[in-house]
Chain A
Amino acid sequence: MYVAVKGGEKAIENSLKLLAEERRGDSNVPVLTLEQIKSQMAIAVDRVMTEGSIYDRDLAALAIKQAQGDIIEAVFLLRAYRTTLPRFGVSKPVDTAKMAIRRRISATYKDLPGGQVLGPTYDYTHRLLDFDLADHHVNRPEAAPTAPRAVADGMPRVTDILNSEGLIEEEATEPETRQVADLTREPLDFPADRDVRLQNLARGDEGFLLALGYSSQRGYGNTHPFAGEIRMGKVSVEIEPEELGFAIDIGDIQLTECQMINQFQGTAETPPQFTRGYGLAFGQCERKAMAMALVDRSLRSRELGEETTSPAQDEEFVLYHTDNVEASGFLQHLKLPHYVDFQSELELVRRLRGEYEARRQQTAE
């Protein structure tokens, strides 16, 4: 019998209890601590912070634990919490040229000022299951050796190097007074400016951006990308309280930044030059930052006067469907009862079939 939807207070309460029990799992196994999640599942924490749009490792770890490791559910938990927070101000733009570098690579130059810094990366791991990790007694890997020389402070960004030659489009500069859009306060409107698009992409689902970026590489609006630079490390965040009149440092955050360099043919008015695609994510989210940079560049086709023919270039299509909290909610709402609508359709289909049958018999006669 179709009883599950006729739930009620008691059924919901019992379901919540069951969920809590399942979440805890086998009580003979020690409880997972937030410290463990933060330090040993750091990349999951970073993704939840990025898509949850709040930089707080503790809360992200808590959300992951509460969601039993369901990343989208954890993002949702964080977002719903974020809504209730008062906003004290807007930070100054962070300066990634001053980043304390942990990783910095460029695919466009063999060597460059500051050098290539590989840092911690899965890139050159062989994807062989490491059965040593299954043994929880092995808890101290061999210490990584220290680099022979310190990583340089303030490495120039590759795009700045190209810029000095005039080979890449100038970064659009905005007056300091311009209010940056905030999608969490104002709904999307079209055409969307780049600040709105970037915020949307930064909050967007990594999987969706990955697929879109990938589609652009396979010919659906190819943008001829080069990974100009990917850097990851800490930057300081500053705010300038109105009553003080000068900026104060409120702490460091770890970021991954990707600057894609894309070819552009030029027009009658502009000489051929490279164009930019930009990606930025909290923590270590390299795949996300790269995918974001590809999609950002694809979405610039309108302002660059390119033909927009592919999904990744379609602003409304992309921006309306990046948000996994929205998407997941709407998809899962199909679980809610729809029997009123269904009943309406049922009645109609029965009637149409009856009429069809009547017509058929009439023709037969």
Chain B
Amino acid sequence: MTRLAAPATRREIPPGFADPVFDAQSIFRHVLTAMSEPGTIIHIGGELDPPSPLGHASAALALTLMDFETPIWLDGPVAAAASDWVRFHCGAPLTQTESEATFAIMSEAPNCLPLTRFNRGTDEYPEHGATLIIQVVAIEAEGTLSLTGPGIDGSRSIDVIGMPQDFWEQRAQTNSLFPRGVDLILTAAEVAVAIPRTTFVEPM
């Protein structure tokens, strides 16, 4: 497969997957579980060594899902540390314009606000809504948030530490025009949890 020419600093870029085919498949299956069962905690990317502050799970998601067809927006800290890594391993174009991004990676949750900057798709093409990878301080099974919606048998509870106060409120507003909306994957080190636009999140 052709890739963009390697940047000059190639030697300094930490490696990606040891086994691109099977690592991507295995991580995708975890991500599929996460997205189809919102609030389910998955562990991915532990074997990677991404340039901080790009987290393990975020890096694993990038290697699994991003390529030349997916413009990516990185927040300042991730861009400063990991632009070359993302470009080299994913061959993905970086964009400065949030609304053009298929994926966005945020080093910490406050950097994702306001969520309305990102593409929410249209009523006719809701799939154009972006997937936001937001790094948080910690994610716990059981906690202060109650999730309901497709993929959840009854309700599921999680705790997410490091979210701005009004984050869930903003998310609800941003996704209020379903099917338009953004889908979230929250990560903390090797831990990740997905919250697609259909999930109803309520602080308990």
Contact = CB atoms under 8 A, between A and B. Distances in A.
Interface string A238-251: 00001100000000
Contacts of A8: none
A86 B5 contact: no
A91 to B, nearest CB: 14
A88 B1 CA distance: 8
Interface in B1-40: 1-2, 5
Contacts of A87: 2
A89 B1 CA distance: 11
A88 B2 contact: yes
A365 to B, nearest CB: 53
B5 A243 contact: yes
Contacts of B5: 242-243
Contacts of B1: 86
Interface in A84-125: 86-89
A63 to B, nearest CB: 25
B88 to A, nearest CB: 16
Interface string A249-274: 00000000000000000000000000
Nearest to B4: A242
Contacts, number: 7
Contacts of B2: 86-89
Interface residues of B, number: 3
Nearest to A242: B5
B120 to A, nearest CB: 19
Nearest to B125: A189
A72 B185 CA distance: 45
B165 to A, nearest CB: 41
Contacts of A243: 5
A89 B68 CA distance: 13
A243 B5 CA distance: 8
Nearest to B5: A243
A87 B3 CA distance: 11
A333 B2 CA distance: 36
A87 B2 CA distance: 7
Interface string A135-172: 00000000000000000000000000000000000000
B82 to A, nearest CB: 23
Nearest to A243: B5
A299 B2 CA distance: 35
Nearest to A186: B69
A4 to B, nearest CB: 37
B171 to A, nearest CB: 29
B7 to A, nearest CB: 13
Contacts of A89: 2
B54 to A, nearest CB: 27
Contacts of A86: 1-2
A86 B3 CA distance: 11
Nearest to B1: A86
B203 to A, nearest CB: 40
Interface in A71-92: 86-89
Nearest to A89: B2
A188 to B, nearest CB: 14
A88 B2 CA distance: 6
B50 to A, nearest CB: 27
A179 to B, nearest CB: 11
A160 to B, nearest CB: 35
Contacts of A242: 5
Nearest to A185: B69
B126 to A, nearest CB: 15
Nearest to A88: B2
A113 to B, nearest CB: 42
B85 to A, nearest CB: 21
A280 to B, nearest CB: 26
Nearest to B2: A88
A82 to B, nearest CB: 16
A87 B69 CA distance: 14
B79 to A, nearest CB: 23
A87 B5 CA distance: 15
Contacts of A88: 2
A223 B1 CA distance: 44
Interface in A210-230: none
A242 B1 CA distance: 15
A88 B5 CA distance: 13
A242 B68 CA distance: 15
A278 B5 CA distance: 37
A62 B16 CA distance: 40
B2 to A, nearest CB: 6
A263 to B, nearest CB: 37
Interface string B104-139: 000000000000000000000000000000000000
A181 B1 CA distance: 20
B140 to A, nearest CB: 41
B108 to A, nearest CB: 35
A242 B4 CA distance: 9
Report, nearest first, the 7 A-B pairs whose CB atoms are least far apart. A86-B1, A88-B2, A243-B5, A86-B2, A242-B5, A87-B2, A89-B2
7 contacts: A86-B1, A86-B2, A87-B2, A88-B2, A89-B2, A242-B5, A243-B5
